[in-house]
Every structure is written in C-alpha cells, then in structure tokens.
Amino acid sequence: MNVDVLVIGFGKGGKTLAATMGRLGRRVVMVEQSDQMYGGTCINIGCVPTKALVHHAESRRRDDTAQEWYQQAVGTVEKLTTLLRGKNFQMLDTIDTVTVVTGRARFVGPKTVEVGAGADRLTINAETIVVNTGSEPMIPDIPGLRTSKYATTSTDLISTTELPRRLAVLGGGYLGIEFAAMYRRFGAEVTVLEVSPQILRREDDDVAAAAVDILVGQGITLVTGAQVTEVRDGDDSATVVYEKDGRRLTLEADSILVATGRSPATRGLGLEAAGVRTTGRGAIEVDEHLRTSRGHIFAVGDVNGGPQFTYISLDDNRIVADQLIGTGARSTADRQAVPHTLFMTPPLSTVGLTERQARDQGHTVKIASKPIAEIAAMPRARIVEETRGLMKFVIDAGTDRILGAALLSVDSQELINTVALAMRHAVTAGELRDTIYTHPSSTEGFNEVLAAAS
C-alpha cells in the first residue's frame, strides 16, 4: 500500500489525527496490533475502565457482598469498553480514505513499514508516519517477581473477576494509590509498599498529609521507605519480602499489583531501520513539534517520553496537525498550567506550582487554604456526604496571579480545569474569588477559600 499518512497505534492522539487527515481526503492507514485495543489504552485498559471501576467501588453499599459486587462491576465495565471500542473503530472505518489494519508494525526503512499478522505480511509506504504506540508497565528486577503467578499489572487486574482478599501494591504513585483506594472500597485488604520516605512526596506536606489521612482512614496500610527484595510463591498466596529501617519484614498477599511506572512501548518497532533515535530512557526522541530525528516521522503520546496523560496525547495531535495542515507554529512550549488528577476518593487534583516550589523559585506568596468540612459556601460537599479534604491555592503576593493549586475534594477533577484556565489567561485570584458560580456547586467554594488568602 502507498498512502499519505501511516499511524501506528490507535491511541487518542493517533486516532484523532487519522480521522482529521482522512476527512480532508488524505489516504490514511491506522495500524493497531490488537482488535481488543481499538481506541487505545484509555478506552480499553486505562482511564475509562479504571475510573468506571472507581465509580462502582464508591457505589457499593455496606450490605453488598464484596465478591458479587466486584464481579458485577467488572462485567458492567467490560460491556462499556466493548461498546466504546466498537465506536472508536467505526469512527475511522466509516471514513472512505482511512483503512484500519490489525497487526504488528515494524519499520524496514525510513518510509516503509511491514505489518505482520500470523503468516501474513503487508508492506506500507507512507510520506508521513506517526508513532502512537503508548507505554507498557515496568516490572522491576526483583527476585521472584516476574515469575510469580500472583504478580499482576493494572491491565490484568481490572479484567479478573475474583476480588483479591489481600492485595499488595508495589508503588505509591498515582496508579498505585488509585488502585489501592479502589480495591479497598471493593472490600480487599490493601497494603501499599512505597520505597520513598513519603507518599505523594511531590505535593506540599499539608496536602500529602490530608490525602494520607483519608487513605489510612479507609483502612489502607501505607508502608513508606519499604525496599522490596524478594517475592516467594506459596500454594495459595505469595510472600513479599521487604526491608524497612534496617529490618527484614514480610507480607502475605493473594495478589501483587506492580505499579512501579510505565515505559515507552518501542520494542519490536525496528526504529533503527528508520533512523529514529531514542532517549536514554527508551522514549522516541522528539523536538518541540514532535518530529523525530527523521523529519517525516512524528511520535505522539506516551511513546515520546512526555507526560503520560490522554489529554497530552490529544494535544500532541494538535501540534502534529498544525505541522501537516496548519501554520506549523504550535509546539509543546505552548503548554501552560497542565492539570493532573489522582482518582482516589475524593480525588486530588493539582496544577502549577506547590507552595514549596513557588518559594524555592523566589516568589513571595500568599496562601489560601481551607478544609472542605469548614467551607460554609460549599454545601454540595455536605449534600453528597463527602466533606473530606481541602482546597489550597498558591498566589503571587505582588500580582495576585495564581501560581498553583491543590484541590482534594469532591468534583476536583472538574474544578481544576477552571483554575488551570484562569492561570493560562492571567485571571487573578481576586477575580476567581468574586466570580458568580451556580449554587449549590463545588466551584462556589472558591468564593470563600480565596477570600481567606494570607
């Protein structure tokens, strides 16, 4: 096949770009290695199923049997992902100039890719190639871990219908904490082993402490400064051996979730045949316009080593589209105030600088912070019976510009977008404080919290 654009990987950035180019009449091929991954990681094994499971975990009532509720939730979420996977396939398949090919892609030249499916081979020549293969779980080199029948990744765990009675989570980052909170609410006994001395160490101490209080209050055991040294399989469980404060300790678990990070998925792509360079961490090396060392090849999403978020992949698509059919001015340097959310319950959403970072950078700051339970102007928290957490804003004392925020509250995944937009457009803390918000809403909490800046 000879085409204008070849996209390898059905992720958010790649599929959006393929659809855009196809609607403009360009000849496009989308290659995806599995028909179970149409739509990419987010739809099938990432954001959508995990957040749907968070929702079901939160909906469990006291008298619901844990195993039955969990099994029902997994089945419901599987139906959702199947539906969305089909819609994503149709999104491209209904465009006349776009062809979806299922198989593994491998570069055999700068503009030539071979796709294999069983014994079949298809050679595709393209003027523009976009790599969107995402990332894959990293399994640390701990004796016994890789061969343990009790070890699992997030991908495998969310598809099992048996709720683990005792879940050990290796890693206290976003993924580890999210799964720990979710599975605890489903009814599992959960222990998180984190090698760092503090959970959420990148956040300010007061924010991290509030989050830890919530997690511990839910019954999650958090062990920091824990260095896992070995995993030993038994007949019906595994023993996780770890060191803490010079002592050798053990933990019994029915399932071990490895949540120690993800690495760019470049294995088997044959990038060397195309002359595409990678970084020391295995990501495809790109410039601010997401071009690789070969000018006609782009890399979008997790595979380029940038922030591993679906919405970053979507913005990568905008940058590449601007290179192909726009002015070419858009770049990664344009990104400001990019928000993040940790989907514990309630969610923790952050944007910009922490108080510690702002002071270290020389800012004279004022802080607006208040526990959710004390915000009288936020009745929604009491209406939905979720008054845990806090809101914290870091504000430049001279300009009244918002430098950053941490929102640990109900609806924070929505609230943070308003704060980020304000930051990008230089809306001051005073303006955000005095804006009219609907009632009862979580946003109106800004009226009260920002009035307390000092």
Is 285 annotated to bind ligand?
A: no
Which 8-state DSSP code applies to residue 235? S
Is 14 annotated to bind ligand?
A: no
Residue 400 φ/ψ region, left for φ over 0, alpha for ψ in the -120 to 50 degree band, beta for the rest: left
Is 135 annotated to bind ligand?
A: yes
Is 25 annotated to bind ligand?
A: no
Is 412 annotated to bind ligand?
A: no
Q: Which amino acid is at 163?
A: L
CA distances from 283 to 43, 301, 308 (A): 22, 10, 12
Is 244 annotated to bind ligand?
A: no
CA distances from 9 to 85, 106, 396 (A): 14, 12, 42
Cis peptide before 440 (omega within 30 of 0): yes
| Token pair in block for residue 258 | 């490895």
Is 172 annotated to bind ligand?
A: yes
Dist CA 420 CA 427 (whole Å): 10
Dist CA 214 CA 200 (whole Å): 13
Dist CA 316 CA 300 (whole Å): 6
Q: Which amino acid is at 42?
A: C
Cis peptide before 346 (omega within 30 of 0): yes
Long-range (24+ apart) CB contacts under 8 A made by 23-26 are 23/95, 24/325, 25/97, 26/97
Instruction: Please tell me which residue in 55, 340, 425, 439 is annotated as part of the active site.
Output: 439
Is 302 annotated to bind ligand?
A: yes
Assess whether 55 carries a catalytic annotation.
no
Is 173 annotated to bind ligand?
A: yes
Dist CA 100 CA 433 (whole Å): 49
Give the closest residue to 193 by CA, choosing from 233, 146, 142, 129. 142
Is 93 annotated to bind ligand?
A: no
Dist CA 213 CA 156 (whole Å): 29
Is 134 annotated to bind ligand?
A: yes
Give the closest residue to 324 by CA, choosing from 54, 41, 126. 126
Is 194 annotated to bind ligand?
A: yes
Is 261 annotated to bind ligand?
A: yes
Is 176 annotated to bind ligand?
A: yes
Is 51 annotated to bind ligand?
A: yes
| Residues 150/233, Cβ–Cβ less than 8 Å | yes
Return the active site residues. Answer: 439
> Known binding site for NAD(+): residues?
171-178, 194, 261
> Known binding site: residues?
51, 133-135, 171-178, 194, 261, 302
> Known binding site for FAD: residues?
51, 133-135, 302
